[in-house]
Structure 1
Amino acid sequence: MKFMVIVKANGDTEAGVMPSTETLAAMGKFNEEMVKAGVMQAGEGLHPTSKGARVKYAGGQGTVTHGPFGLSGDLACGFWLIETKSLDEAIGWMKRAPFDSGSEIEIRQVFSADDFGDALTPELRERGERLRAQAGKK
């Protein structure tokens, strides 16, 4: 099962405060453990929302709003894409993440092709697989 682990932003991450050398080293060690265990597929930190934008769609049109965005609890400052046997295993890994007090993450299962049932025709499935393979080569 694949999971997207969303690291929630806070005042420091939104202010662009960079992690210390010690924090970077601890996070690197944690990431290395997940890679060696075959769990981690991707993971990155994100710049603050002041360097980002949102696109809201209505009537087939997209309207752009540039950041920064208010610290509402729904902002992300980083992510991991992991693969584990269960949500409980994903939680077990994430409980070991080297975060300070007050940090928060959200763990969400990623849809698999089988989750879409008959709506995902063989042609659509093949197209999706081909696109994922092409994207993985970059």
Structure 2
Amino acid sequence: MRFMIIVKADKNSEAGIMPSEQMLADMGRFNEELVKAGVMLAGEGLHPSSKGARVRFSGKDRSVTDGPFAETKELIAGFWLWQCASLQEAIDWVKRCPNPMLGESEIEIRQVFEAEDFGDAFTPELREQEERLRAEITRQSGQ
């Protein structure tokens, strides 16, 4: 199972305060453990929402709102994509993670949908398209 591990933003990450050398070293060690265990598929930090935008959909209309966004607790400062056997394994890994923020912080764990989760609505044609797109992404990234 794949899980997205979502590191919630705080006032410091939204202010653009960069992590200390110690925090980067601690996270580097943790990421190394994840990679060696075959858990980590991807992971990145994100710039503050002041450098982002949101696109709102209403039928065929689109509207764009530039950051920053007010509700810090709803914002994301970074993420990992992990391969774990279960939600409990992902929880156990998160509990080992260094605190990603200077003060209190929160990390959310969400399972990623897999093809079989969509049942009959994911027709053979759609499955083939998905496989073709994934193969192209792999080709483009040189993996």
TM class by shorter chain equals over 0.9
Number of corresponding residues: 138
Task: Report the 3-state secondary structure (helix = DSSP H, G, I; strand = E; otherwise coil) of the residue aligned with 1:116.
Answer: helix
Question: Unaligned regions of 5+ residues in structure 1, if any?
Answer: none
Deviates most, 43-52 or 67-76: 67-76
Task: Report the 3-state secondary structure (helix = DSSP H, G, I; strand = E; otherwise coil) of the residue aligned with 1:124.
Answer: helix
Question: Unaligned regions of 5+ residues in structure 2, if any?
Answer: none
Runs of 4+ residues deviating >6 angstroms: none
Mapped partners of 1:27, 1:6: distance in 2:
15
| Matched residue, 1:68 | 68
Deviations 1:20-58 (A, max 9, x none): 000000000100100010000000000000000000000
| Matched residue, 1:88 | 88
User: Aligned pair 1:128/2:127, yes or no?
Assistant: no
| Matched residue, 1:38 | 38
TM (norm. structure 2) is 0.93
| Matched residue, 1:52 | 52
Mapped partners of 1:114, 1:10: distance in 2:
36
- Please identify which structure carries the higher helix content: 2
- The question of whether the paired residues in 2 share the 8 Å contact of 1:10 and 1:71 is answered with no
- The question of whether the paired residues in 1 share the 8 Å contact of 2:46 and 2:78 is answered with yes
Task: Report the 3-state secondary structure (helix = DSSP H, G, I; strand = E; otherwise coil) of the residue aligned with 1:19.
Answer: coil
The residue identity in structure 1 corresponding to 2:9 is: A
Deviations 1:43-83 (A, max 9, x none): 00000000000000002121100000013411000000001
TM (norm. structure 1) is 0.97
- The question of whether the paired residues in 2 share the 8 Å contact of 1:11 and 1:71 is answered with no
Task: Report the 3-state secondary structure (helix = DSSP H, G, I; strand = E; otherwise coil) of the residue aligned with 1:95.
Answer: helix
Mapped partners of 1:69, 1:32: distance in 2:
33
- The question of whether the paired residues in 2 share the 8 Å contact of 1:7 and 1:76 is answered with yes
- The question of whether the paired residues in 2 share the 8 Å contact of 1:6 and 1:80 is answered with yes
Mapped partners of 1:105, 1:32: distance in 2:
19
Mapped partners of 1:97, 1:47: distance in 2:
20
- The question of whether the paired residues in 1 share the 8 Å contact of 2:8 and 2:73 is answered with yes
Query: How far does residue 136 in structure 1 lie from its aligned partner after superposition?
Result: 2.3
